[in-house]
Amino acid sequence: MAAFDHTGKVFVVTGGSRGIGESIVRTLAAEGATVYSTYNANAERAQAITADVAERGGTVHYQSVDVANEDAVKAFVDHVVQQAGRIDGLVNNAGITRDGLIMRMSSKDWNDVLQTNLTGVFYACRAVARPMMSQRTGRIVNIGSIVGLGGNAGQVNYSSAKAGLVGLTRSLARELASRNILVNCIAPGYVETDMTDKLTEDQKKAFSDSIPLKRSATAEEIASVVSFFLSDRSSYITGQVLNVDGGLAM
């Protein structure tokens, strides 16, 4: 059952071919939106999701876009505006990890994570700002992480990028509020996806045990909060960071 009605809305979701992004795409399409999403490497998976969403009466269009590439992001957003005529919401979901303790972290691993997880978000926000400003309405939802707030050993690159998203969210919320563009950030805790599949079973159990709700989140539990932030039901919320973490970071 759809929780929100996004009929007629046009949403852009980065990194939508698996994990949390796929769930966001499927949720928004099921709720009536036309979704434009990106994949990075797996064209077959994007095709399979497109077909499955269509079978359920929804619409998603995928394009291969590297969010770390300024020109590619701009061209993608221009293409959406040209095809759909508007962009009601942008979800910055694409992200990578290159974990390691600082003594062993290469400059490349630092730069790659900052470029994809923070600079890529800047590129996408800048690209949608103009169409949203002329529409005088818009929503931007950034997928951060609780480690951007509390830090995490072995993730100075990732947590710095996610902390940067908090500043970006708040500054942009202030900048765009007068045009009725709302900008918020969701900070998930532990969600079982390919990204966290690198953890050992022992690490997963220890992690789950430390969460007050005693379990990881499903990707759908993140997607439903994204949908709320894109909906009319959140019309007075901007510049916020909402932890969706089972109580982990209280």
Ligand X SMILES: NC(=O)c1ccc[n+]([C@@H]2O[C@H](COP(=O)([O-])OP(=O)(O)OC[C@H]3O[C@@H](n4cnc5c(N)ncnc54)[C@H](O)[C@@H]3O)[C@@H](O)[C@H]2O)c1
Q: How far is the CB of 48 from ligand X (least distance, A)?
A: 13
Distance of CA 146 to the CA centre of its chain: 14
CA atoms lying within 13 Å on the CB side of residue 56: 19
Q: Does 35 bind ligand X (CB under 6 A)?
A: no
Q: Which of 149, 67, 153 is nearest to 113 (CA)?
A: 67
Q: Which of 27, 116, 160, 169 binds ligand X (CB under 6 A)?
A: 116
Q: How far is the CB of 133 from ligand X (least distance, A)?
A: 25
Token pair listed for 71: 């020109």
188-247: contacts with ligand X (CB under 6 A): 188, 190-191, 193-196
Of 123, 158, 190, 236, catalytic: 158
Rounded Cα gap, residues 112 and 221, in angstroms: 28
Pattern 134-163, binding to ligand X, x per CB under 6 A?
---------x-x------------------
Rounded Cα gap, residues 43 and 63, in angstroms: 9
* Active site annotation includes 158: yes
C-beta of residue 226 within 8 angstroms of C-beta of residue 27: yes
Residue positions annotated with a catalytic role: 158
Residues within the interface to ligand X (CB under 6 A)? 14-15, 17-21, 38-40, 65-68, 93-96, 116, 143, 145, 188, 190-191, 193-196
